[in-house]
């Protein structure tokens, strides 16, 4: 009889991809996925350590799982991801119901770990091996999939922004070899995927192809049936000439780019160890837009970094006004154990952080609404992903990654169709399907 696996995923898209691969790896041990924790034989929490709140959620969730373990003593509970890497054994001490702690670089050893769990042992593996962890995992499942997929091409970070735990939890920058990525992309396309988002903590620091990320994108664009390519997350300093050019030259590369800047103040950028200025960021944006004028930009921002003054914050608002974002994520600075920023003087008052965040988010929301409104009347292509909430409606994404609803036959799921945008809301667009020419 097959056993059931429930995985709860927190945090970024890289965790979403890792959860899929863990599920596939444990499929070989007879596990089938379930979305109901109460019927699971194994529960894995794939965790995020980026901000304090994210890490705390893990312990609350473990507390909630206590009653399931009491009812079913054979239930195995594991913690994977960045909290596992950062806190290791501490997790088992704080929450003895945990059987398995597995860091993000050890997922290829999950089948062996599972066997040890079966004999009643507790297992901890947070090593950071140098090899490509995905190489040790089986090929992707051949089952039919939805039209979009993530594909991790790079992991880790050497940038050491002073606020960030990623260089410690995910280790040094590592790129997967291009031939393996090409093979995996072909498998995904055979299984029905039309759009692939390449993932990496510093995806544009990808060096597994002689032509770096731009070279990989061009090769992927040559795969028959792969119509759309995206990549995330990028660092401004790795935005090289070839990649900027690819935005203008590769039609499969979608006109949307997430390019975090974090702050608009040079003083704060320096303290953050970002190694770029507001001006150099704006210059990159200008070059990207010269290559691809309709590029929609997204960003990440942190308010209340230690030492941030009102004037620094005004510089951030000024940068946002200068760029004009179509979408963005913004956060209050959260002091993370082991990071240099935590030791800095001038921690900002919580109330000041909240006030700055509200002002920044109001400006970003205004820009997003304007970007949505600007689509009205335009003709776009939509990759339909699934049925919408209203009967007869499908929902998909435009090239700019905006959600689009349109009345269309379910047979169009998984296809790309022309749509005229009729109305805009802050988070979605309504469109009318156009006849194909
Ligand atoms: N506090 C707040 N936000 C953070 N981020 C990373 N570390 C922190 C922190 N300590 C944000 C950055 C990054 C995004 C993934 O999370 O904006 O780009
Ligand atoms: Fe963290 Fe900076 Fe690396 Fe991004 S570039 S993962 S923010 S250290």
What pLDDT, in 10s, does the model give residues 383-398?
Answer: 999 999 889 999 999 9
Report whether residue 104 contacts ligand 1, using a CB cutoff of 6 Å.
Answer: no
* Ligand 1 centroid – CA 68 distance (Å): 33
Name all domains of the chain by residue range, CATH numbers in brackets: 3-125 (3.40.50.12160), 134-373 (3.80.30.20), 379-433 (2.40.50.140)
- State the pLDDT at residue 347: 94
- The stretch 51-68 carries a mean pLDDT of 91
Report whether residue 336 contacts ligand 1, using a CB cutoff of 6 Å.
Answer: yes
- The stretch 78-90 carries a mean pLDDT of 94
* Ligand 1 centroid – CA 378 distance (Å): 35
Ligand nearest to the CA of 170: 2
- State the pLDDT at residue 53: 86
Report residue 14 CA to chain centroid gap: 5
pLDDT at 14 over 90: yes
pLDDT at 436 over 70: no
Report whether residue 305 contacts ligand 1, using a CB cutoff of 6 Å.
Answer: no
93 token code pair: 């001490």
Closest residue by Cα to residue 138 from 82, 182, 190, 184? 184
- 382/402 Cα distance (integer angstroms): 9
In ligand 2, the atom with minimum distance to the C-alpha of 202 is: 5
pTM tops 0.85, yes or no: yes
- State the pLDDT at residue 55: 79
Mutate to test the pocket of ligand 2, among 167, 232, 237 (most ligand atoms within 8 A of CB): 167
pLDDT at 206 over 70: yes
Percent of the chain scoring above 70 in pLDDT: 98
- State the pLDDT at residue 138: 67
Pick the residue whose CA is nearest to atom 13 on ligand 1. 300
- State the pLDDT at residue 1: 67
Q: What is the mean pLDDT of the chain?
A: 95
Mutate to test the pocket of ligand 1, among 164, 262, 298, 333 (most ligand atoms within 8 A of CB): 164
- The stretch 398-421 carries a mean pLDDT of 97
* Ligand 1 centroid – CA 298 distance (Å): 15
What Å distances lie between residue 49 and 167, 228, 278, 394, CA to CA?
Answer: 12, 31, 27, 35
């Amino acid at each position: 009889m097959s056993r059931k696996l429930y995985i709860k995923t927190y945090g970024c898209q890289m965790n979403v991809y890792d959860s899929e691969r863990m599920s596939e790896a444990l499929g070989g041990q007879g596990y089938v996925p379930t979305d109901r924790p109460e019927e699971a034989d194994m529960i894995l929490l794939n965790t995020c350590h980026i901000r304090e709140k994210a890490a705390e959620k893990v312990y609350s969730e473990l507390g909630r799982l206590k009653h399931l373990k009491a009812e079913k003593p054979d239930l195995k509970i594991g913690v994977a991801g960045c909290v596992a890497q950062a806190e290791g054994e501490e997790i088992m001490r704080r929450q003895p119901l945990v059987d398995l702690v597995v860091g993000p670089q050890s997922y290829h050893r999950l089948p062996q770990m599972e066997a040890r769990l079966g004999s009643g042992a507790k297992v901890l593996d947070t090593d950071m091996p140098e090899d490509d962890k995905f190489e040790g995992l089986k090929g992707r499942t051949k089952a039919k999939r939805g039209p979009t997929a993530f594909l991790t091409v790079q992991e880790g970070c050497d940038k050491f922004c002073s606020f960030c735990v990623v260089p410690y939890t995910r280790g040094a920058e590592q790129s997967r070899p291009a031939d393996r990525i090409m093979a995996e992309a072909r498998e995904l396309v055979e299984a029905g995927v039309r759009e692939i988002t390449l993932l990496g903590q510093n995806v544009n620091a990808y060096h597994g192809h002689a032509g770096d990320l731009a070279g990989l994108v061009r090769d992927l664009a040559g795969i028959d049936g792969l119509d759309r390519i995206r990549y995330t997350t990028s660092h401004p300093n790795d935005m090289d000439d070839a990649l900027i050019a690819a935005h203008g030259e590769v039609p499969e590369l979608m006109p949307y780019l997430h390019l975090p800047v974090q702050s608009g103040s040079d003083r704060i950028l320096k303290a953050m160890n970002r190694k770029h200025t507001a001006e150099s960021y704006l210059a990159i944006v200008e070059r990207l837009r010269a290559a691809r004028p309709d590029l929609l930009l997204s960003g990440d921002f942190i308010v209340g970094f230690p030492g941030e003054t009102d004037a620094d914050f005004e510089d951030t608002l000024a940068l946002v006004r200068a760029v004009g974002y179509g979408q963005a994520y913004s956060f209050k600075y959260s002091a993370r154990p082991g990071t240099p920023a935590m030791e800095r003087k001038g921690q900002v008052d919580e109330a000041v952080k909240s006030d700055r965040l509200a002002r920044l988010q109001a400006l970003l929301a205004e820009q997003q609404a304007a970007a949505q409104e600007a689509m009205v009347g335009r003709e776009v292509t939509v990759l339909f992903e699934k049925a919408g909430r209203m009967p007869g409606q499908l929902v998909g994404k435009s090239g700019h990654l905006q959600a689009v609803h349109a009345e269309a036959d379910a047979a169009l799921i998984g296809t790309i169709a022309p749509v005229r945008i009729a109305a805009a809301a802050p988070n979605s667009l309504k469109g009318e399907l156009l006849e194909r020419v």
